[in-house]
Amino acid sequence: MATAAGPAAASANYPVVYSFAAGITAELLTPGAAPPGSNNFGCKPTATHPYPVVLVHGTFGDMTDSWQALSPLLADHGYCVFALNYGGASGSLFQGYQEIAASAGQLSAFVDRVLAATGAAKVDIVGHSQGGMMPRYYLDFLGGAAKVDALVGLSPSNHGTTLDGLFGLLSAFPGGSSFLGSLCAACTEQAAGSPFLTNLNAGGDTVSGVRYTVISTKYDEVVTPYTTQFLSGPAVTNITLQNQCGLDFADHLAVIYDPMALNDVLNALDPAHHVAVGCTLVLPVLGG
């Protein structure tokens, strides 16, 4: 796994590009590389941001194409940032398609590695799509609740979607059509009403001691209807991007390259230091 250079406990100055095209370009040029500002295992959290942030990509994505905006943005704000690939063959362009429980085990091991390296008491987790839902399995069943302060989901598949939506997602990735013939356990497990999701949600949406934020777009074409992404519980904030900005046309992919959505992430992680969310034109797929 690549290691990013940079100061351990100070704000950096990485460029932040709000464009999904930048993610695809990075994937093609440096496949599997850690996104800018991430995976410096010498990073020590500050008193202002005591919890490292772990970024968790979605189905068929990976850390390279998913976090070219959020990772440097968080590093520039003084966070220790870490990202992983999970749920796929090593070196594959496609990740996140294997059984979700096994992927949650990979996340658990990665969080333990981050905590050991940084000396932090807990981490915050930010995930996209499956990456916003899968950590809930870690929290509920693998002891993660004691190690996580906050979980922020960008278009998370919390209560399932249709298989058509998940396979349609592949068309945005290079070589996606050729991958259709492969098995995708995570796809069937994310189908609405699946045994996996029934088990995950049977005891309620949340666990005590963790703060939850869900950031959704009404133009989501993958996890539909978008309101199924929302969680219920005493420590939950559900955000619909279009309620903040009528110029925001982000879809499922663009949400991770949406400046308003990523400002919402900053505020979810650190509500004591609110940043202005703003309002600017965001396009489907491409982002801001």
Show pLDDT as tens, one digit a residue, over the chain (288 residues). 333 333 344 567 999 999 999 999 999 999 989 999 999 999 999 999 999 999 999 999 999 999 999 999 999 999 999 999 999 998 888 899 999 999 999 999 999 999 999 999 999 999 999 999 999 999 999 999 999 999 999 999 999 987 666 655 655 556 554 454 457 889 889 988 899 999 999 999 999 999 999 999 999 999 999 999 999 998 999 999 999 999 999 999 999 999 999 999 999 999 999 999 999 999 998 888
Structure tokens at 105: 């085990």
Determine whether 225 is exposed, middle or buried from the number of CB atoms within 10 Å of its CB (0-12, 13-18, 19+).
exposed
Phi, psi of 195 (to 5 degrees): -55, -35
Structure tokens at 59: 């189905």
Residue 82's DSSP bridge partners are 54
Distances (CA, A) of 175 to 75, 222, 257: 31, 19, 21
Q: In angstroms, rounded to a whole number, what is the distance separating the alpha carbons of residues 52 and 50?
A: 7
Distances (CA, A) of 184 to 88, 127, 156, 242: 10, 19, 18, 32
Residue 92, CB-side half-sphere exposure with 13 Å CA sphere = 17
- Order of strands across the sheet with 123-128? 81-84, 53-56, 123-128, 148-154, 211-216, 236-240
Closest CA to 131 of 273, 286, 256, 246: 256
Structure tokens at 288: 């801001």
Query: Which residue type occupies 225?
Result: P
- Say what the pTM is: 0.91
pLDDT at residue 288, rounded to an integer: 83
Q: In angstroms, rounded to a whole number, what is the distance separating the alpha carbons of residues 82 and 222?
A: 26
Q: How many CB atoms lie within 10 A of CB 170?
A: 19
